Structure 1
Amino acid sequence: MSTPPRSRFSLYLDLIRWNRPAGWLVLIWPTLSALWLAAGGFPGWHLLAVFVLGTILMRSAGCCINDVADRHFDRHVKRTAQRPITSGQVSVPEALVVGAVLALVALALVLTTNWVAVAWSVPALLVTVLYPFTKRFFAMPQAVLGVAFNFGIVIAFAAVQGSAPAMAWLLWLGNLFWVLAYDTEYAMVDRDDDLLIGMKTSAITLGRLDVAAIVLFYLLFLGFWAVALAPLALGAIFYIAMAVALAQVAWHWWLIRTRTREGCFRAFRVNHWLGFTVFVGIALGMVRW
């Protein structure tokens, strides 16, 4: 008995990874943390809606761009061979239109803030488009992904304060290490396939140092954020949250220490809890502050 054809809407949901929220959850927590810090507390419903919806939309648009760029590689990777573009269920022009519409809606949301935030959204989009192609020649494409993902922090400060102060850039740098940590875990899942097809990833570049490097990246992330936020004296609740985040780093080491596909993929999928923990510490600390 043949499988009935799927609706276009169902295929589009697969294209943007709607059933895999881990991808946008790791984006939303540092962005909301920056928004709370820039506003000195709750930023208001307008900005909250803009950044939550904008983050989800831009991640979805990024999935469309990534899958178009990687369509010839994805067919050789176990985990990605059935993606809508690779399997031929969605055409390249169709996917590009979906991505463009999502990006335009995200831009329309940013246009309701200020011109500085809009200006910073332009390089954010350009780096997002560039990222998939860096996997052909750059040894650590996860760093480029980090640059793209981190623009939410800068745009959040710009939307509230009209500029990106030193604190924003310290947070930006720290978050770059978090992206390196979780996306290297993600790359470890596909390392065998990526080696065969000639894809560049941090998991391949780091080799047997991958697990130690990931732990170091996590510690640098938390360290940079602790230094950046120290002048605010957020109090005990923030440092309790940081301690819980450190405990999660130990958990991640336990999951990836044997480098199994299952352990590495699970480690990637639970990363959003680390970001959520840090955000809760900041939000509650800001109430006290």
Structure 2
Amino acid sequence: MTGPASPGPASGPLAGLVPEDATSDWVGRWAPAFLRPYLRLARADRPIGSWLLLIPCWWSTAMALRIGMSEGAALPGYALALLALFALGSVAMRGAGCTWNDILDRDIDGKVERTRGRPLPSGQVGLVGAFLFLGIQALVGLAVLLCLPPFAIGVALSSLGVVAIYPLMKRIIWIPQLVLGLAFSWGALMGFAALLERLPASAFLLYAGSILWVVGYDTIYAHQDREDDALVGVKSSARLFERNTHPWLAGFYAGAVGLFALALWSAGSGLFAWGGLALFALQLGWQVRRLDIDDRALCLRLFRSNRDAGLLLFAGMMLDLMPL
């Protein structure tokens, strides 16, 4: 791999495998050379995935706080510290999930233009090293998990089956994004499990809405690989919907907003939370209007903009907790 001061493409056996912009992120610029392939295996250079895994955790924490306040319950003193704990856990588990995904997909990734420069198919990381790195990240996630109450630990552990099978779904079903949604939305249950030690109706409504949101934004993301996926025989919602993506995307997003509205109503949320949901809905509507499935760069920008949409809703939920 090129060093942090090398602006040009890689040469030698990695030529054409390492992206030309490999030094444009913090990993390429600042990380020690021996760590760079592992950090890229965990997608540390692309934090958007950690954000999208974290945001449902933060939503559920804010909503659980709202319910606890309305019930007059004595909430744990670590309620706000839980936001930081979830952030650490999201980074570790997203990295572990990406590593597991790349272990299973190493042959497919070598045939796809966007992914053939990943550490495993390009030979920058060996299979044994990838498994060891996976174990290290899992241990960090376990350390975070052990800070939670027993009920929350049980809820978190029950997600492992879905997480483990997701990378295989693109070989089996036409909407593997649905299984990704089941896994990536699990945080929508975790705030309730950690603070209330139960799962009220609003938790399941928030979880269901998040699943639809994930299916929507990952369909946008999948349009970057639509042609390559067809060549290697990988299924995706982008291939299934193709030219009909706009109405499907609008439907997924509308369903997400509707379920989030029911969750807010069930939790007794106030004006600021509803304002956050309105901004969230407007941002999703902008994505639908702007989407051009043949513009890969635009698809990536719209996909990444979901972090901002999610944070707008979270900000509204947090403001809703403030005394007027």
Quick check: TM above 0.5? yes
Between the aligned partners of 1:209 and 1:104, the Cα distance in structure 2 is 43
Q: Which amino acid aligns with 2:79?
A: G
Question: Which aligned pairs between 1:192-231 and structure 2 lie closer than 5 A?
Answer: 192-231=227-266
**Secondary structure in 2 matching 1:101:** helix
The corresponding residue for 1:130 is 165
Q: Higher mean Cα deviation, 166-175 or 113-122?
A: 113-122
Which residue of 81, 98, 103 maps to 1:63?
98
Q: Higher mean Cα deviation, 2-11 or 34-43?
A: 2-11
The corresponding residue for 1:54 is 89
**Conservation of the 8 A alpha-carbon contact between 2:119 and 2:125:** yes
Residue 31 (str. 1) matches residue 66 (str. 2): no
RMSD (Å), alpha carbons: 2.1
The corresponding residue for 1:145 is 180
Per-residue CA deviation, residues 15-63 of structure 1 (Å, 9 max, x unaligned), is 1111111111112122101012113379634422221101111001001
Between the aligned partners of 2:35 and 2:49, the Cα distance in structure 1 is 20
Question: Which aligned pairs between 1:29-108 and structure 2 lie closer than 5 A?
Answer: 29-40=55-66, 44-108=79-143
The corresponding residue for 1:263 is 298
The corresponding residue for 1:18 is 44
Deviation for aligned residue 1:2: 5.4
Between the aligned partners of 2:175 and 2:146, the Cα distance in structure 1 is 33
Structure 1 gap segments, 5+ residues each = none
Q: Which amino acid aligns with 2:305?
A: V
Deviation for aligned residue 1:134: 0.9
**Conservation of the 8 A alpha-carbon contact between 1:171 and 1:225:** yes
Between the aligned partners of 1:207 and 1:220, the Cα distance in structure 2 is 20
TM-score by length of 1: 0.93
**Conservation of the 8 A alpha-carbon contact between 1:35 and 1:43:** no
The corresponding residue for 1:243 is 278
Between the aligned partners of 2:103 and 2:242, the Cα distance in structure 1 is 28
Between the aligned partners of 2:196 and 2:292, the Cα distance in structure 1 is 42
Deviation for aligned residue 1:119: 1.2
Q: Which amino acid aligns with 1:147?
A: L
Q: Please tell me whether Structure 1 or Structure 2 has the larger radius of gyration of its CA atoms.
A: 2
Between the aligned partners of 1:133 and 1:185, the Cα distance in structure 2 is 20
**Conservation of the 8 A alpha-carbon contact between 1:34 and 1:153:** yes
**Conservation of the 8 A alpha-carbon contact between 1:234 and 1:288:** no
Task: Give the helix-richer structure, 1 or 2.
Answer: 1
**Secondary structure in 1 matching 2:269:** coil
Q: Higher mean Cα deviation, 248-257 or 155-164?
A: 248-257
Q: CA 1:234–1:163 in 2, change beyond 3 Å: closer, same or farther?
A: closer
Per-residue CA deviation, residues 106-133 of structure 1 (Å, 9 max, x unaligned), is 1121111111111122222221111001
Between the aligned partners of 2:293 and 2:219, the Cα distance in structure 1 is 14
Q: Which amino acid aligns with 2:139?
A: L
Q: CA 1:237–1:207 in 2, change beyond 3 Å: closer, same or farther?
A: same
Q: Higher mean Cα deviation, 171-180 or 207-216?
A: 207-216
Deviation for aligned residue 1:260: 1.6
